[in-house]
Every structure is written in C-alpha cells, then in structure tokens.
Amino acid sequence: MRFTDTQELFDDACEYPADTATLTDQLGDVEIEAPTGDTTTLSSVLTRSNVTTYESATDAYTELLSNLDEAFIGRKYYDDRGDNQPHPKRSW
C-alpha cells in the first residue's frame, strides 16, 4: 500500500480518540511501500513516535508522515524550484 492511502485506512480503523496500541492492533501489520520499493509496517512507524493518543485519523496520518524513514523522501537534496547549477565565476 502507498503511504498516501493510509489516511482513509486510519479513518476506517477505529473510533477516535485512539491510542497507539489500538492503532497498531488494528493496522500494525499493514505494509506501506516507499518509492524505492522498500516496505515497512505501520506498527514500526507509529512506534517511533512519542505520541500516545491520536484525536483523529488526520492526527494519526500526520504522525505517520512525520516518522517515515528516508526511503520515503524521494531524491534527497533535490530542488526543482531553485537554481541547481553552480553560479558562474565572476571576473571583477
């Protein structure tokens, strides 16, 4: 499953507020796939967090995004909005 599809999964999993134990019991074995092809379980991501209670599915999803590892980042240090080319040397 793509991590972007997990918000709906959190919506359907349980009633909120919910604690980490409840979410990991309901969804802990669900695997999410990184763009690199690596997979991890929701349980392993949620247990990295210090949050113990989620007030809503949106809170759980936000915390999931905050704790994904670098395999989910994409191309590190890539910037398509700025000038990626070295600046020409100035001859002053």
pLDDT at 89 over 80: no
Please give the pLDDT value at position 51: 92
E-state strands within the chain = 18-19, 31-33, 39-41, 53-54
pLDDT score of 7: 86
State the average pLDDT for the chain. 84
